[in-house]
Structure 1
Amino acid sequence: MMTRPATLIALALATSSLASCGSSGGNEEPPLSEEALAAVTENPGAPTRALARAADDLFTYDGLGETRALVVYHGGRLAVERYAPGYDADTRFISWSMAKTVTAIMIGMLVADGQLRLDAPAPVPRWQRTGDPRAEITLRHLLQMRAGLEHTEAGDPPQESSEVRMLFLDGRDDMADYATAQPLEAEPGAKFEYSSNTTVILADIAARALTDSKDPDIRRRAVSDYLKARLFDPLGMTSVVPEFDRAGTLIGGSLIHATARDWARLGELLRNKGSYRGEQLVPRGWVEEMVTPSPQSPHYGLQTWLNRPTGEEEHPLIPNRAPKNAFSMIGHMGQYVFVSPSQKLTVVRLGHSDAPERRAMLQQLADIVELYPET
């Protein structure tokens, strides 16, 4: 039997042990900074401190790369907005491949206008010559990245990449000419192959639908005016700056610049199936097409990534931690406009992360997403 002095000693040791696990211990999370708390709005739609913590971790954790901007909208209301030092609400961020979704929206509006047909042969003059097998490529094939054109997106060394050659080397002056000149390596429609060059072909098709002129300035103006009048101005996306090549073709696979808030506005438009303040800017049916899986890639629609499982461990999004109807624009080195309609959620993360960092960063982004219930 334990004597009374021994009992008191045991209780003292237990109390000391419990105290070491309390506020003075090393296991408790550090207090939230004023910056972290200020980033969250008054009614964010999720627990304020948990949201501030998850957002703060995205900026401060090692191994995630550099987060430069985070904007979260819930139910159409701003929930979180934060920037890294050197960036702010007026900074125009490069899209990289998020631009592909913008190009798909433009194509959809032209289809609705009767200027283009989704399942007709793509109107590329070079492919219409007698006997050219590329005449079987449809607009849908191009939009779903299954045109079958010979392509290497990421080469080693980099100059072996078809994308690099188009953007910076022998194709840079007339990117569409370079992209459409490639031969077939697969039957049109037979396989999925991600290709920035394919999106430039779509941008060229859009320009030729809007003007018969080959004058670069007229082509630039036709596309810029169309996007501005039909999409950017009605949405209030006043910061957008698209880039064009020397031939006047929109570099619609990678080079559109805009603020984080404006990228969020575009995500919100898609979350609302193309509707903004009662006006249907993009046909509802087209947005539904954009987020419908391709026959050759369950995680890809029309120039848009889908949060659907593929059976593979590696995935560009977070199918195990967010609804399968979620989708995203994704840009090189960690640009995301993640949209989850059933959570009424749009999350914009812009920054710079390499491949391993992106995998870790996506899991941290998922911590934010999971704070919002499905409705």
Structure 2
Amino acid sequence: MPIPSLRTLLPGAALALSLCSFAASAAQTWPDADWARGPAPSGAAVKAFEDYAFPQRDDATRKGVRTDAVVVIRDGKLIYERYAGPTKAETPHLAWSMSKSIMASVLGVAFGEGRFQIDDPVATHFAPFASHPDVSMRHLLNWASGLAWEEDYEYAPLKSSVVAMLYTRGRDDMAGFAASFPLDAVPGTRFRYSSGDSNVLAASLKQMVGEQAYADYPWTALFDPLGIRSAVWERDASGTFVGSSYAYMSARDLARIGLLMERGGRWKDRQLLPQAWMQFVLTPFPRYRAAKGEEDEAVPGGQWWLNRTLAGARTPWPSAPETTFAALGHWGQAMYVLPDQRLVIVRYADDRDGTYRHDDFLKRALAAFAAPEVKP
């Protein structure tokens, strides 16, 4: 099955195209069993970064910035790592909603294998969605299914769709639970962040690859080629990966997915994620508008988050380049990919309040870890 052209998928996506255009270089460094080490940065900028990212940890009240791990990759080499709390270099840390971006990368491999098209009806790959025939894979990937979903967490658990899905009446078949919701918007016309959409994607993958291959597919398709050895991914009682929330891996291993993305979907001599897929997931959902008071929230792409300017607004993270994108999760999980700086930064955390700010972190990280500019 041919891969759709970039023009068909994403008309006018010039900036995202630039992220996927690169010259293969024999000099590029890639990790093997372990990361090669680069020069470790030091000095006042690193201290300022650590003062922000690793303040004295308050485990009694769980207040303030509570970083569990930071791993920094520059030019394919590990240049910085630090751990706190119970987390160690080998710890498979819960990714929370970074799982969504991991699943998007698994789906990208399936897309490259011709197992689905972006605009396929979801019902083609997940029968319970037959009651929503107008919802496409594109809509799910953009969190724009139109389902009447409420993504509230501990602050409003009684009306929360996601709490019911993960912990109570929906936990045995999470995608089937999401499919039972009615639509309250025309698919593709409204962004509404939904872990239900993400779990339907995970269930759709099962039909694409078949029950027998499904249990190992994230490993055979993505983790094994990248050399990821620490990954654990929980499944619900129906056997579907909890693609919204329950992937675990070490910070060093998660950084391998970041490097794959930073290098345009290529891993060594293999284009693991097609450029058409990269183009799609790194393009903003065109109907997204930040709600009042949420202007510093990243812009949704295809299960990834983008530092993009829309409708004349400033970028969500003004201290970082507009080409920056990220996987983000509950309680401060983040993997930032900065292609222009050839940087991947993984942060695991246990933030329980609103103290942490992406832009404050990125400002200090760039000062500490970006390579000096080479002047002509």
Common fold by TM > 0.5? yes
Q: 1:42 to 1:189 in 2, by over 3 A?
A: closer
Q: 5+ residue gaps in structure 1?
A: 1-40, 212-218
Q: Deviations over 1:261-318 (max 9, x none)?
A: 01111111110111112222222321221111111227111000001135799x9x95
Counterpart residue number, 1:200: 199
Q: Quote the Cα distance in structure 2 between the aligned partners of 1:127 and 1:82.
A: 44
- Percent identity between the two aligned chains: 34
Matching residue's letter, 1:350 = Y
Q: Quote the Cα distance in structure 2 between the aligned partners of 1:201 and 1:42.
A: 40
Among candidates 123, 136, 139, match of residue 134 of structure 2: 136
Counterpart residue number, 1:127: 129
Q: 1:284 to 1:52 in 2, by over 3 A?
A: farther
Counterpart residue number, 2:10: none
Matching residue's letter, 1:125 = A
SS at match of 1:273: coil
Kept after mapping to 1: 8 A contact 2:320/2:359: no
SS at match of 1:357: coil
Q: Quote the Cα distance in structure 2 between the aligned partners of 1:126 and 1:53.
A: 51
Kept after mapping to 2: 8 A contact 1:69/1:84: yes
Counterpart residue number, 1:43: 39
Q: CA deviation at 1:355?
A: 4.3
TM-score for the superposition, normalised by structure 2? 0.79
Q: CA deviation at 1:112?
A: 1.8
Counterpart residue number, 2:307: 307
Counterpart residue number, 2:34: none
SS at match of 1:356: coil
- Return the structure number with greater relative CO, CA threshold 8 A, min gap 6: 2
Among candidates 353, 356, 359, match of residue 358 of structure 1: 356
Please, what is the CA RMSD of the aligned residues? 2.3
Q: Deviations over 1:156-181 (max 9, x none)?
A: 53131100001101000111110111
Kept after mapping to 1: 8 A contact 2:318/2:359: no
Query: Within 5 Å, which residues of 2 pair with 1:35-74?
Result: 43-44=39-40, 48-60=43-55, 64-74=64-74
Q: Quote the Cα distance in structure 2 between the aligned partners of 1:227 and 1:159.
A: 33
Counterpart residue number, 2:176: 177
Q: CA deviation at 1:222?
A: 2.5
Matching residue's letter, 1:176 = A
Which of these two proteins has the greater Rg computed from alpha carbons? Answer: 1
TM-score for the superposition, normalised by structure 1? 0.79
Q: Quote the Cα distance in structure 1 between the aligned partners of 2:229 and 2:39.
A: 26
The answer to whether 1:102 aligns with 2:102 is yes
Range with bigger deviation, 285-294 or 260-269: 285-294
Among candidates 303, 323, 332, match of residue 325 of structure 1: 323
Counterpart residue number, 1:276: 267
Q: 1:197 to 1:232 in 2, by over 3 A?
A: same
Among candidates 338, 341, 344, match of residue 339 of structure 2: 341
Q: 5+ residue gaps in structure 2?
A: 1-36, 58-62, 290-298
> Is the helix fraction higher in 1 or 2?
1
